[in-house]
Structure 1
Amino acid sequence: MRFGIVILPQQPWTDARRLWVSAETLGFDHAWTYDHLSWRSLADEPWGATIPTLTAAATATSTIRLGTFVASPNFRHPVTFAKDIATLDDIAGGRFILGVGSGGTGFDAYVLGYRELSPKERYERFAEFVTQLDALLRFETDGPISLDGDWFTAHEARMVGVPAQLPRVPFVMAANGPKALALTARYGQGWVTTGRDGATGEEWWESVRELSSRLDDTGSSVDRYLSLDSGGQYALESVAAFDDLVGRAEHLGFTDVITHWPRESGIYAGSESVLDAVAARIAELREAQSLGEAQSFGEAQ
């Protein structure tokens, strides 16, 4: 099991730097930030830009992987975004992970004046976005790249050079429906889910199980990431809560879990002391497993 944490881009870098450095020091495998222009209940609070935040995090850290949770075509064009990604991954020394999805129907979808899309249109745009990013980020041609899609076009675009990761940065794709899951099986190196929107408790866990089963049906063997905080319970409310949630995710075959850095109030409110204790619990179990001792998450401590 690998462990990730989301750090929302809400603090000035003079304060945020400590969080990103601490995420690495605490032993997390990957750290993420949301790729939104603003977000839900936090829309009236400070909110920084994604790529500059991750670039700063890349210069402040050395081993932890960094990613978008998740990027979408709601306000991005494949060519400009691919340039950003490739440059960021170069600065990070090949540590970037592209979390990518079709895009929600909230603030990001309309702030630039775009019309409302049907679910079918959102999938078609997502498929084209992913396909074009795949071509751009591989840079398997020495010449310019032209795109002629229904949603995105480009004439003789130039990229930044040889990718820092070969054949390209890994894609961790958010997908629920059959078509999007098939797309994940084709282009993804990982799959991430937040379960069914609005579901909580056992209903949410059942939705996670069903979605994971749908991915099984595609024959895909990609890594599986679960957002632990999406089912109505904050994973860092206590060490016991984290332990139980991780154990359930592990039982369902997830290879990676993700929680959120505790905030002072509101959504994901919690204590950094619990975060520290959870990091110690992770280190304890990793050491036990490396010694061949039979311990796992979800067991009594």
Structure 2
Amino acid sequence: MRIGIVVLPDQRWAEVRHRWRQAEEWGFDHAWTYDHLGWRDLVDGPWFDSVPTLTAAAMVTSRIRLGTLVASPNFRHPVHFARQVTALDDISGGRVLLGLGAGGIGFDSAVLGGETLPPRQRVDRFGEFTELLDLVLREDGVTWRGDWFAAVDARNNPGCVQLPRVPFVMAANGPRSMRLVARFGQGWVTTGVSGDDLESWWGSVAELSDRMNKALAVAGRDPATLDRYLSLDSAPVFSLSSPTFFADAVTRAAGLGFTDVVTHWPRASSWYAGDERVLEEVAAGLLPELRRLTPERG
């Protein structure tokens, strides 16, 4: 089991630099930040872009993998984003995990003045975004046109450090997005289905995992070729509420076949509010043991 942590980009770099370095020193396998122009009720506070944040994180770490959780076509174009991803992969020495998603409603979908798309159209756009991004990261001189995006002789020199391109970790809960994961993803990340009841949330995670298995079967893909990431803090209880609670959540995720879990660095208030001492206890006393868990492949 690989364990990751999210550091929200809501503080100045001088205040959070140590968190990225500390995550690596503690032994976390990957560290992530959100890719938004603003997020929920934190939109009126400080917020920083994911790409320079991850670039700075790459400069103060050497082992831990770094990723977006998740980038979307709400405000990114595949051609320009491919250049950013290529640069980040180079600077990090091939440590990028590229989290991708369809993009939700809210600030990101409204701030540029465009219309808020219904779910079907967001998935249509996501499909084009992923296909074109995949092409530009793998091939040079891409000319391509769809309903949402286009490219004319887009260049990718020198290409990614990771070949044939950086791994895509794709968010998907619905059948069409899961088919995209089966086609393009090296990883799948799910948030489960939100609700107030913890057991119901775990039930939704199990059901989504079964659906992903079926999507892979239809695509003729070996389930062992797909890494599975679970965002633990989409549950109605913060995963770092206590060391025992966190250990139980990671164990349950492994039992459902997840290869990776992601928690969040505790914040002082609002989203992911918690006590940093719990994170310290988990890192010092539980992380090595939890990393030895073996996912149960269904």
User: TM-score scaled to structure 1, two decimals?
Assistant: 0.92
Q: What CA distance in whole angstroms lies between the structure 1 residues aligned with 2:294 and 2:81?
A: 39
- After superposition, the Cα gap between the structure-2 partners of 1:181 and 1:296, relative to the gap in structure 1 and judged at 3 Å, is closer
Aligned-partner residue type, residue 256 of structure 2: L
Matched-pair contact (CA < 8 Å) for 1:6–1:33? yes
- After superposition, the Cα gap between the structure-2 partners of 1:199 and 1:82, relative to the gap in structure 1 and judged at 3 Å, is farther
Matched-pair contact (CA < 8 Å) for 1:228–1:259? yes
Aligned-partner residue type, residue 14 of structure 2: T
CA shift digits 1:99-146 (9 cap, x unpaired): 00100011111110111212221111000000001101113x4xx222
Q: Please report how far the alpha carbon of residue 283 of structure 1 lies from its aligned counterpart in structure 2 after TM superposition.
A: 4.0
Matched-pair contact (CA < 8 Å) for 1:98–1:172? yes
Matched-pair contact (CA < 8 Å) for 1:285–1:296? no
Aligned length: 288
Q: Please report how far the alpha carbon of residue 85 of structure 1 lies from its aligned counterpart in structure 2 after TM superposition.
A: 0.4
Q: Please report how far the alpha carbon of residue 281 of structure 1 lies from its aligned counterpart in structure 2 after TM superposition.
A: 3.1
Could you say which residue in structure 1 is the equivalent of 2:7? 7
Q: Please report how far the alpha carbon of residue 155 of structure 1 lies from its aligned counterpart in structure 2 after TM superposition.
A: 1.7
Could you say which residue in structure 2 is the equivalent of 1:83? 83
For residue 162 of structure 1, the aligned residue among 155, 159, 163 is 159
CA shift digits 1:254-286 (9 cap, x unpaired): 100000001111211112221111112334416
Q: Does 1:228 align with 2:224?
A: no
2:70 partner SS? coil
Q: What CA distance in whole angstroms lies between the structure 1 residues aligned with 2:3 and 2:127?
A: 28
- Give 5+ residue unaligned stretches, structure 2: none
CA shift digits 1:70-125 (9 cap, x unpaired): 01000000000010001000000000000001000111111101112122211110
Could you say which residue in structure 2 is the equivalent of 1:179? 176
CA shift digits 1:164-193 (9 cap, x unpaired): 100100000001111111110110000000
Matched-pair contact (CA < 8 Å) for 1:62–1:92? yes
Could you say which residue in structure 2 is the equivalent of 1:188? 185
Instruction: Map 1:90-169 to 2 at 5 A.
Output: 90-139=90-139, 141=140, 144-169=141-166
Q: Please report how far the alpha carbon of residue 200 of structure 1 lies from its aligned counterpart in structure 2 after TM superposition.
A: 3.5
Q: What CA distance in whole angstroms lies between the structure 2 residues aligned with 1:256 and 1:285?
A: 14
Q: Please report how far the alpha carbon of residue 244 of structure 1 lies from its aligned counterpart in structure 2 after TM superposition.
A: 1.0
Could you say which residue in structure 2 is the equivalent of 1:63? 63
Q: What CA distance in whole angstroms lies between the structure 2 residues aligned with 1:240 and 1:22?
A: 22
Aligned-partner residue type, residue 50 of structure 2: T
- Give 5+ residue unaligned stretches, structure 1: 290-294
- After superposition, the Cα gap between the structure-2 partners of 1:82 and 1:251, relative to the gap in structure 1 and judged at 3 Å, is same
For residue 245 of structure 1, the aligned residue among 246, 249, 262 is 249
Aligned Cα RMSD in Å? 1.6
Of residues 111-120 and 6-15 in structure 1, the stretch that sits farther from structure 2 once superposed is 111-120
Could you say which residue in structure 1 is the equivalent of 2:284? 280
Matched-pair contact (CA < 8 Å) for 2:142–2:152? yes
Q: What CA distance in whole angstroms lies between the structure 1 residues aligned with 2:85 and 2:197?
A: 34
Q: What CA distance in whole angstroms lies between the structure 2 residues aligned with 1:101 and 1:270?
A: 27
For residue 263 of structure 1, the aligned residue among 259, 264, 267 is 267
2:80 partner SS? helix
Q: Please report how far the alpha carbon of residue 147 of structure 1 lies from its aligned counterpart in structure 2 after TM superposition.
A: 2.0
Q: What CA distance in whole angstroms lies between the structure 2 residues aligned with 1:270 and 1:197?
A: 20
Aligned-partner residue type, residue 55 of structure 2: T
Q: Please report how far the alpha carbon of residue 199 of structure 1 lies from its aligned counterpart in structure 2 after TM superposition.
A: 5.1
Could you say which residue in structure 2 is the equivalent of 1:202? 199
Of residues 270-279 and 62-71 in structure 1, the stretch that sits farther from structure 2 once superposed is 270-279
Give the 4+ runs in structure 1 shifted more than 6 A: none
User: TM-score scaled to structure 2, two decimals?
Assistant: 0.93
